[in-house]
Amino acid sequence: MKNTMIVSLLLVFVLKMNAQPIEEMEYILRFGFIHGGKATVTANNDKLNKKPTIHYHLRGRTIGLVDKIYEVNDVYESWVNPQTYLPMKSVRNVKEQKYRFYDEVTYDHENDSVFSLKSGRKKVPDNVNDMVSIFFYIRQNHYFDYLLAGKNFQIPVYHGDDLFIMHLEYLGTETIDTKIGKKVCYVVSPKVPKGKLFQSSDDLKIYITKDENRLPIYAEFNLLVGSLKCELISYKINGTNQMADQ
């Protein structure tokens, strides 16, 4: 079950340029009418090897009946350079039934390489990202505005001890019903290689509110194992709910 990876595509669109307040978002995951899981992400200032970073912590877990059938409790973390918005370190800690996977990756952007605890050092393309840092990188480098202008982008991503190229495409606007009323949203499609997670490269749509907040409020995924819907249910800054004011 790879819910946390795909939810990470959705969450970090919302994070601000600096993470001085502690931000927290929570999403409900649904397979059809079944509430199958929750995902939460937090962002705050931190230090890594005495250097300032922005630390993202993403946790995805199953709930209810799905948890009894197939228990998942996955954690992804990323420490990002606040000047370049590129990852300095990432952690993937996967617990799915009896399956366990743990890896730490450090990023050497000066030499275009990464070091994985699982597989050692590897050469990678310039400005490589991890799955949690990528949309923060896009947002802070003004790529999102270029995307809305019709320009598509290709960005290298290192995930699961593997490298792939993510393509981003803007599909237009759409009005949808949400927990905070009808919202006009930008619709963005991040595309990953066919067969890694989706039935085709066009099976992911993310809905981002067309306002100054640009909240990633809803997403639809057509997975190899079925259809998944993801909806924002809570957005807090320093513990205070922000959704009532949207």
Mean pLDDT of 77-102: 92
Pairing of strands 181-191, 73-80: unpaired
In tens, the pLDDT along 176-235 reads 988 778 899 999 888 876 655 555 555 688 898 888 777 788 888 765 556 778 888 888
CATH code of the domain in which 107 resides: 2.40.360
The pTM score is: 0.82
State the residue range of the domain holding 27: 3-245
Give me the number of domains the chain comprises.
1
Is the model more confident about 121 or about 141? 121
pLDDT band at 169 (very low <50, low <70, confident <90, very high): confident
